[in-house]
Amino acid sequence: MSWTLRKKAQALLADEQGTVRKDWGGKVAIALVYPNTYAVGMSNLGFQTIYRHLNAIPDVVCERVFFPAPEDLDELVRTGGAPFSLESQRPLTDFHMIGFSVTYEGDYVNVLRLLALAGIPLRAADRRPHDPLVLMGGVCAFSNPEPVAPFMDFIVVGEGEELVVELMAAYRDGYRDREGFLTALTGVEGIYVPERYEATYAGDGMLAEVKARGGAPGVVVKRRLRRVDAFETIATLKTPHAEYGHMALLEVGKGCGRGCRFCLEGQVYRPVRHRSVDALRETVARLAREGETRVGLVGACVSDYPWIGELLTIIDAHGLELSISSLRADSLTPDLVGALARGGHRTLTVAPEAGTEGLRRAIRKAITDAQLFEACDLLRAAGIPNLKTYFMIGLPTETREDVEAIPRLAARMLERLRVPDPAGRPFGRLTLSISSFVPKPWTPFQWAPFDGAESLQAKLEIIKRGVRRCSNVRVLHENPREAALQALLARGDRRVADFLELAAGFDGDWRRALREWDGDAGYHTTRPRAADERLPWDHFDVGVKKAGLLREWERAVADAPAGAA
């Protein structure tokens, strides 16, 4: 192992608070892997939560592994080393299980690269008896795991707080060999064993059937946490090397009842489950006793928490500063904005998503221009000078007028934000963060086509030209080709696994892999899907009825103004 990389790991550990170190003797060893950098992984609340819950089991030791930063990857390859855990610097092959926590489809390639660097066969069918079991959890596991399914021994479908305890009990009680253990897992609700499902295709290439065998259920039912108050979802492992490392992250609930037609999270975390005020009061009090000074509230829509006013009072009474990542413009209050201002916020974030009220209605994001302007006024009154906004381009039914409206709306919002500083000069910065819409499974827009990289690039240019006349407006955006990759991985079936394997073999060069892959990316991305088509994720039940999604899709198309795409 490279001494340089070992020293870097030791330095990261030295800067952490809340690290769990356990003796390995007689314990089941699990490598919890976030297939991105340390800074990104340590900002993920779900990753930290599972780390804490696994280490709370007496006969389990859980250690973290991350994908190396570019310079560290070069050192790892140069020295012929293998990926290793942070806590004990043991290689991945020393663990009984390797659990990948995957939040973004783009990290699939990193999953395979880590396995390859460790010398572990990529495909589950090729693994040997002495190889670790490889599993995946995270939101990608219950959205559409099919592109990565051939590489997984099993997949945790749903919320893992209770499930990890049952999984460890099944391993202790029944593990004799890989096949026997996987057979036992087919009877555990929320566990998907991909090798027990066979996909067949029609002559035209369409997915015809996914058939269960070997005792596996025909439909894999997502596991959901019934009593959210029974488990704290909180990040207590702090590090200055993560975006939110300076605060304690606290989840206020799961799910969102707004029903935006583009939003995966608003669908797959249903039903909405709020943590009680009493449970949160107890957690906040403990955080204050432990010396925390800042708490970050996390949830699909924190400002919609029914008892947000009471929670703000509790946080303030314990002398803690408040942070919230993103807010609904139509649920902001002077008290909430004031609390964030007292917490030191200089920028707040809202997500209009679209430039016109008509398109917002079509995507079921019922926020008016007037409410956005009122949000600007609240910020200005509280002394918060900057606003970050999220917009999407390429939405279903979008017209050129909708795109051109984004810079016009930005100019009007900026005028509401701009107030003079003590010298009489106006200040206030507006950031437009533009993302490319990717139709996601389990949403009403799962039948819609992806817009395509060239069309999206042209729309970006319209927005950039439109804001040039505005000072203090910054445009941030992703590369539309990255969105095209996400569309392929989010909407593809098991045949996309061949592309992923190529990309891993090309050291992550997915553009080269696309050129050499004999599959058709457009088939999975820019092709509209018929209402009666079998979708790659139809053998899962995540609690969302397909008939209801289809009704919402038909309403969105029917309500679109004349001339909409």
CATH number at residue 469: 3.30.750.200
User: What is the tens place of the pLDDT at every residue in 377-431?
Assistant: 999 999 898 999 999 999 999 999 999 999 999 999 999 988 765 666 556 889 9
Cβ partners under 8 Å of residue 293, min gap 6: 319, 320, 321
The reply to whether 355 and 212 lie within a common domain is no
Is residue 311, in this structure, part of any structural domain at all? no
Is residue 254, in this structure, part of any structural domain at all? no
Contact 33, 114 (CB under 8 A): yes
- The residue out of 221, 239, 265 marking a domain boundary is 221
Q: Which helix (H) or strand (E) holds 389?
A: strand 386-393
Burial of 469 (0-12, 13-18, 19+ CB in 10 A): exposed
The tokens describing 322, both together, are 């408040």
Q: How confident is the model at residue 189 (pLDDT cuts 50, 70, 90)?
A: very high
Residue 263: how many other CB atoms lie within 10 Å: 22
Q: Which helix (H) or strand (E) holds 547?
A: helix 546-559
Supply the range of the domain harboring residue 110.
Answer: 3-221
CATH code for the domain of 53:
3.40.50.280
Is residue 477, in this structure, part of any structural domain at all? yes
- The residue out of 162, 197, 221 marking a domain boundary is 221
Q: How many CA atoms lie within 13 A of 444 on its CB side?
A: 20
Mean residue pLDDT of the chain comes to 93
pLDDT at residue 561 is higher than 70 = no
Global pTM reads 0.94
- The residue out of 170, 204, 221 marking a domain boundary is 221
Contact 386, 428 (CB under 8 A): yes
Cβ partners under 8 Å of residue 278, min gap 6: none
pLDDT of residue 246: 77
Is residue 322, in this structure, part of any structural domain at all? no
The end-to-end CA distance of the chain, in Å, is 55
Is residue 333, in this structure, part of any structural domain at all? no
Alpha-carbon gap, residue 138 to 46, rounded angstroms: 8
What is the tally of structural domains in the chain?
2
Is residue 331, in this structure, part of any structural domain at all? no
Is residue 268, in this structure, part of any structural domain at all? no
Is residue 202, in this structure, part of any structural domain at all? yes
Contact 275, 281 (CB under 8 A): no
The tokens describing 51, both together, are 């780390």
- In the numeric block, the tokens 């209050």 are attached to 333
pLDDT of residue 188: 92
The reply to whether 68 and 202 lie within a common domain is yes
Lowest mean pLDDT among 69-73, 127-131, 309-313, 469-473: 469-473
Range 229-245 average pLDDT? 85
pLDDT at residue 538 is higher than 70 = yes
pLDDT at residue 564 is higher than 90 = no
